[in-house]
Copies of this chain bind each other. A is one copy, B any other.
């Protein structure tokens, strides 16, 4: 039994690029965080220190900036495709490029003035190999709360169960979602506005399902959110949701002679429930384990 190199990848992470488009008095702004991971025939660099097939991570960073100037940045999916294809096409040693992009939003205040949006960000992950291109879009940091229409009842009671059943609780979560576009969708890769419309549609479906669902568990809400995305958006093949259950505990005010009819809560940090699941249209789902997690 010998020791050998297994799977590996390398790249530049967290390249921060801000692109201003200043064709006229009204500027446009794009603010991205780009991470690149490349893999391929890189055994020699590990085994012998021969760097002959290594494109430096510094060059990868430079490519981000040069491409931002040469091609502009409109939709992050397109910018990721440009970058990933460039690395695979130009470097013979590379079999796969994966580019992850986070876009920080800015609201317009004036022709050249902007205010940063909050914690919510739009994301994309583009993976290119010789024979397949995959595009995932996503979002992170979307914090949602329903102050009623959430219950949790009928669960297993084992010897360690003390949780009371409840038919009215706060349900709050910070949505992290990643959805994979069907192959060939949108059909015309040059139609960049497709990505924006698709993103807006998926986001609206996620928020709408969270708001509309009378929740018997966060799992049920998760499925409702994923189901609505797939029902409304034919271009999406699959969606993965990671939903921390941000517990809001009602405070016992009886010691102070007060009732608490669902009005005063402690917002807790830790521990939190973590509910993760995939909703898919590709085949019969298998309720098997999700890799990854906390």
Q: Is A181 an interface residue (CB 8 A)?
A: no
Q: Which of A238-279 contact B (CB under 8 A)?
A: 238, 244-245, 248, 251, 253, 255-256, 258-279
Shortest CB-to-CB span from A144 to chain B, Å, is: 6
Given contacts A117-B118, A147-B27, A266-B17, is CB(A8)–CB(B220) below 8 Å? Answer: no
Smallest Cβ-Cβ distance to A270: which chain B residue: B14
A interface residues, how many (CB within 8 angstroms): 154
Given contacts A17-B266, A211-B109, is CB(A54)–CB(B219) below 8 Å? Answer: yes
A271 interface neighbour in B12, B37, B115, B119, Cβ under 8 Å: B12
Q: Which of A1-19 contact B (CB under 8 A)?
A: 1-19
Q: Which of A1, A17, A211, A293 has the most CB of B within 10 A?
A: A293
Q: How many copies does the complex hold?
A: 4
Further contacts, 14 of them, CB under 8 A, given A7-B277, A69-B260: A5-B287, A9-B289, A9-B293, A10-B219, A37-B294, A48-B220, A51-B152, A52-B154, A62-B255, A63-B160, A95-B289, A98-B289, A112-B146, A115-B145
Closest 6 CB pairs of A and B: A118-B118, A49-B216, A6-B278, A8-B277, A116-B143, A35-B294
